Chain A
Amino acid sequence: MEGTIPLSYYIAVSAILFTMGALGVLIRRNALIVFMSIELMLNAANLAFVAFARSYGVLTGQIFVFFVITVAAAEVAVGLALIVAIFRSKHSIDVDQMSSLKG
């Protein structure tokens, strides 16, 4: 197709998204935000998969994306359950307060 957006743009968006996600995981203390940042990184990866799949004309990347979405859904279920359990015992969802395993 003529006049489409080049692959590098997609990759750039994907990289920016990933970086934002990574920074969010590293910087924010709120477990929910951290969680959302992880979703951001997964979706950055999905974007890269889809972009490459479309660029190379193969379906492998898109199929992988389905898997990633499935894994992300499962992860959300587990993660939210964990966060609820933590909140019940600690009355907070600040990840820095959950450091009782430190050496």
Chain B
Amino acid sequence: MSFDYAPAPESRAVVSIKPKYGHFIAGKFVAGSKHFPTINPATEEVLSHIALAGKAEVDAAVKAARKAYTTTWSKMSGKERGKYLFRIARIMQERAREFAVLETLDNGKPIRESRDVDVPLAAAHFFYHAGWADKLEFAGLGTSTKPHGVAGQIIPWNFPLLMLAWKVAPALAAGNTVVLKPAESTSLTALLFAEVCQQAELPAGVVNIVTGDGTTGALIVNHPGIDKIAFTGSTEVGKIIARAVATTHKSVTLELGGKAANIIFEDAAIDEAVEGIVNGIFFNQGHVCCAGSRLILQESVAEEVLDKLKVRMAKIRVGDPMDKNTDVGAINSKEQLMKIIELAASGDDEGAQRWSAPCDLPSKGFWFAPTIFTGVTQAHRIAREEIFGPVLSVLTFRTPQEGIDKANNTPFGLSAGVWSEKGSRILWATQQLSAGVIWANTFNKFDPTSPFGGYKESGWGREGGRHGLSAYLKGVGHE
């Protein structure tokens, strides 16, 4: 007798996708000139056609944002600004199912995650920041109450709506207006968000959304009418942006790559740690900048942890993202799949041992089975480069200090995980780790009140909490 899961598909009837989209500029949808297709990565079905913004569209968006800043938004009291943000949060909650379904169709992530993580957290970010709008004078040390002006914001494809919320909510609360560009492969929820702005009667031009690829992003980064750049994406592009704005007056925040260590000490609660390892690397197909992509195991428990991890991984349900029982969905694009395949192949070539969870992958769409590599050394590419996929590199250590040294041996410093049942060891390890977010006996938790961002080459600044808000206010202590 077997207990198989019956299919439990979420209905897509709740969304209506237009065959073609334009940009959202000065409160109105305007037709685009060139278009490119956006597909469902789980089926390769073309969902719609997205406009590619060129110079004219970016200029128009910046102009609209500037006008809204000078005539409306900067003159409005924080109290009133905040009310618009509260409205947005409420409308997002009302239309949550629509957002979740659209996100899953466009991104490939499991509906369970878009429904339970991405969309509620996005609404929570607006609700949290709404309350800051009339309290900027209490935002603390080194921060003024003055916004930068027009913010240019470029976001990635891994959490399309959530990253929009992380960017737009604090910017508006602080009194900036924005020009936002969603990622090329995941524009649909940003365009639905534009409708929310309309329903909230947000003054025209406060939020402008232009769609496109990296060329559109470069137009935003280099636009002289923009005062502040906020980017989430790869460290490689982050450095290009840092160089591009070096010669300008623009303020910058960057939320970049990671290669997080997840350290399991021998006194960890092993079963809980195994759940944490799975959540750390396979959440959102591993398309997470803070993913726990390096498992650093104390030698004495390495065998036990790996045995249990393989048993657990064999139960991960990979497949239709719209199925409510799915754990791991589709890789977001063919390009990303190729990158994962190439890096995994380097693991084989450099002598690590590959093990993949036994699972049937759909014939259409982009898929990669949850995979671990053991016998990984610190020099291996899979221990140094961000794979951004469901691939875990396993290293081992003997003494606690060796574990910390291996964890910190990376130019990244975004996040880390520590597992131990001993309080003093947890606090010691969190102190030693060079990372901006440390999850102790948990992993991949996010909250609008909790600052998120990296040390070293993982970026500049924080998002969330008072620290994140300050990135959208002019500093008082320095230029």
Q: Are these two chains actual partners, yes or no?
A: no
